[in-house]
Amino acid sequence: MTRLEAPVLTVEADAVRVETRLLAGEIECPDCGSVLAPWGWARRRVLRDATTVVRLRPWRARCSGCGGSHVLLPVFVLVRRVDLADVIGAALVAKASGRGARSIAVGLGRPVDTVRGWLRRFERRAEYVRVYFTVLLVETGVDPIPPAVAATPFAAAVSAVVGAWRSALSRWPDVGKVSPWQTAAAVSRGRLLSPTWP
């Protein structure tokens, strides 16, 4: 497995809480359920929020059971993306509502090619995303309501992501502390726009 393909575990945004939980042995390996322990740091990242720069150096943890290592990415980060999940999510919502890549790029202050890349990647995976998040919506909701029929597969996938977030919110009110796109990042282990997930 190459460095770029390192297994990722999505954790909360609060770096101090993540460190406290990691040092206390309270984070489980997603592969085998054993305890993860600190194992250094992943590479430093400079990420972009809507208007600011976010500097990040995620923990790397090693499993005491299976020996696997995991990069602990905060819930607001997608793998191999410079822009935060909410910025990319805003672009996806805009596209689902009928806007084009150029106007989305101008609105977000991002290069058109970058925005087109997000939209194309999501569009290629739209049916898979729609099915995955619709199942999640039904399985997590107290009284789940499937998303309404959408005009395009792209819009249906976006609607399923937001619907799954609302469904999870009905069961676990603390989910409201994170956005639909942070929830999608967590569910996909940061790989929402990756060719293979989960």
Residue 5, pLDDT > 60, answer: no
CA gap 135, 23 in Å, rounded: 34
What pLDDT score was predicted for residue 174? 82
What pLDDT score was predicted for residue 176? 76
What pLDDT score was predicted for residue 4? 42
Compute the average pLDDT of residues 32-56.
94
CA gap 61, 70 in Å, rounded: 5
pLDDT tens-digit map of 64-110? 999 999 999 999 999 999 999 999 999 999 999 999 999 999 999 99
pLDDT tens-digit map of 119-177? 999 999 999 999 999 999 999 988 888 887 899 999 999 999 999 999 999 888 887 78
Greatest extent of the chain over all pairs of C-alpha atoms, in Å: 49
